[in-house]
A and B are shown apart, each in its own frame.
Chain A
Amino acid sequence: GAVVSQHPSRVICKSGTSVKIECRSLDFQATTMFWYRQFPKQSLMLMATSNEGSKATYEQGVEKDKFLINHASLTLSTLTVTSAHPEDSSFYICSARGGAMNTEAFFGQGTRLTVV
């Protein structure tokens, strides 16, 4: 299957700082990327959908100014958590869809963000 690489896998940051998470499709061009947030023992909650070269579409209740998404190329999308606070601590996961597998979405390894 296709490979999606997410980096970093773990990050600890101080409250008030910003953190950038990268999501790369390694062997296909991702026309669409998705960002999810997952709380412990819960399901994945879609935060936003981004298409290459256009603005991301955010789900209801997700602050677009706090969670900045950039999808500048067909292989890279980034999520920046701005002015992070402890309540932003969570597991963030990206997925990518594109190429021949235009229906199936492949997931990155996830990023565990801890804000102290």
Chain B
Amino acid sequence: GESVGLHLPTLSVQEGDNSIINCAYSNSASDYFIWYKQESGKGPQFIIDIRSNMDKRQGQRVTVLLNKTVKHLSLQIAATQPGDSAVYFCAEKGSGNEKLTFGTGTRLTIIP
């Protein structure tokens, strides 16, 4: 399954399938990007990050892709599990700027 972030804030994926969550960012000066997972009633949990000098980074079952040309970031989750159900936020930080700017979030639901 695939989402377009702002236009599709919810995404349902069958357990075991791969999911792709997308994020468009606006600041071309942003040089650091993070994906967070937030479960209901909890604070955001760091998943994976990527710097602007890279276009791909892999973690355990997760991959982040960065396309600076179109200012697009995506999070791929492989072999989804029920525990992956949460809201996922992308965040960006500009060079020399302390603040993180968060995207609107995408709710991912894994269907058993």
Contacts and interface: CB of A to CB of B under 8 A. Distances in A.
A103 B32 contact: yes
B98 A107 contact: no
Interface stretch (B12-20, B40-48, B56-64, B70-78): B40-48
Given A103-B32, A103-B93, A104-B49, A44 B102 contact: yes
Interface string B15-51: 0000000000000000010101000011111100100
A43 B104 contact: yes
Given A34-B100, A43-B105, A104 B42 contact: no
Contacts of B49: 103-104
A20 B32 CA distance: 32
| Interface SS, B side | strand
23 contacts: A6-B43, A34-B99, A34-B100, A42-B104, A43-B102, A43-B103, A44-B102, A46-B99, A46-B100, A93-B43, A93-B44, A95-B43, A95-B44, A95-B100, A103-B32, A103-B49, A104-B34, A104-B49, A105-B100, A107-B43, A107-B46, A108-B43, A110-B41
Given A43-B89, A46-B99, A110-B42, 20 more contacts: A32-B98, A34-B99, A43-B102, A43-B103, A43-B104, A43-B105, A46-B100, A46-B101, A49-B98, A93-B43, A93-B44, A95-B43, A103-B93, A104-B46, A104-B49, A107-B43, A107-B44, A109-B42, A109-B43, A112-B41
Interface of B: 32, 34, 36, 41-46, 49, 89, 93, 98-105
